[in-house]
Amino acid sequence: MNGFAPEWLAALRADSRQTPLRPRLPLLAGDAVIGSVEPDLLNRIELPPLPDGRKQLSKEERPEGAAWHLRGEAMAGLNALALALREAGLAHAWRDEQLAVTDPQGRRVGTVERAVVRVLGIATHAVHLVGQAEDGRFWVQQRALSKANDPGLWDTLMGGMVSSADTLASALERETWEEAGLKFDALQNIIRGGHLDIRRPCADGQGTGYVVEHIDWYHCTVPDGLEPLNQDGEVERFVLMDRNEVLQKMQQNEFTAEAALIHAALLALPGG
């Protein structure tokens, strides 16, 4: 199918839909389920009690089973929890970046530091942009060798998190400038390509993290004469690859899993 080895594509898709390595308990803020944690992980931290004397964080039994419950004002509680996880050595690289925390219906409950979303199993949102030159070749980035995740692997033209202050549109425009140095209004034929969901264990929190990510991806043409130039230090270099080179490097696992899934979806389209 469009040059893909069927077994490779099946393995790639399966990799994006992994179950947790170990059982996890729901994490609640107020009455809303906002994530999940390994059963005993939060025993390793302690939050101060609320003004009324109640525990701010505790494990409790509910009719549907055990859960961890964060009480009080959600924003304050989530960020107190983030600081406690950092002090316990359970946070990822601290970014001073807030991400939205939502309930299962997508309603915002609060925000939390990006460094702890994986250990807390909180769903995140990201945007990616696939860019092609006018001759059809793909602009791809090599992730900086200093990146904590997937250093040196090939990626889409741009990929980034949607922060708590962003909409999808503003995140797409901001990240396109920060990662690729391209003004959005200079790009051509910008269209939404699709959506994918990623679920898999990760190394955050000393191996207790779980990725739940919703990705919206877009496609554009980068006009001749424009070349991407990284602005934030997170990209090693940009190169142009033709379709066959992209396919080869994808199947040799030289692309991130997300970028490979996105490029595979695009190349599977008529004319891709």
Is residue 272's pLDDT more than 60? no
Residues 134-155: what's their mean pLDDT? 94
DSSP string, 163-192: -TT--HHHHHHHHHHHHH---GGG-EEEEE
Q: What does the pLDDT look like over 38-62, one tens digit per residue? A: 999 999 999 999 999 999 999 998 8
Task: Name the pairing type of β-strands 25-29 and 32-37.
Answer: antiparallel
CB 34 within 8 A of CB 28: yes
Identify the pLDDT of residue 255.
97
pLDDT recorded at residue 6: 85
What is the tens place of the pLDDT at every residue in 168-195?
999 999 999 999 999 999 999 999 999 9
Is residue 1 very low, low, confident or very high in pLDDT (cuts 50, 70, 90)? very low
Average pLDDT, whole number, for the chain? 94
The predicted-structure confidence for 231-247, as pLDDT tens digits, reads as follows 999 999 999 999 999 99
Confidence check: pLDDT of 253 > 60: yes
Q: Provide the 10 A C-beta neighbour count for residue 1.
A: 9
Whether the pLDDT of residue 142 is over 80: the answer is yes
pTM confidence score: 0.92
* Per-residue pLDDT at 271: 57
Q: What is the mean pLDDT of residues 128-147?
A: 96
* Pairwise CA distance, residues 68 & 79, whole Å: 16
Q: State residue 251's pLDDT score.
A: 92
> What is the predicted pLDDT for the residue at 94?
93
Q: Where are the alpha helices (DSSP H) in 92-220?
A: 168-180, 204-207
In this structure, of 81-90, 133-142, 263-272, the range with the lowest mean pLDDT score is 263-272
Q: Pull the structure tokens for residue 104.
A: 């299962």
pLDDT at 69: 96
Distances in Å between the alpha carbon of 50 and those of 55, 56, 70? 6, 6, 11
pLDDT, tens only, 79-133: 999 999 999 999 998 999 999 999 999 999 999 999 999 999 999 999 999 999 9
pLDDT at 2 over 70: no
Domains of the chain: 6-17+124-267 (3.90.79.10), 25-115 (no CATH)
Cα separation, 129 vs 192, whole angstroms: 9
Within a 13 Å sphere around the CA of 233, how many CA atoms are in the beta-carbon half? 3
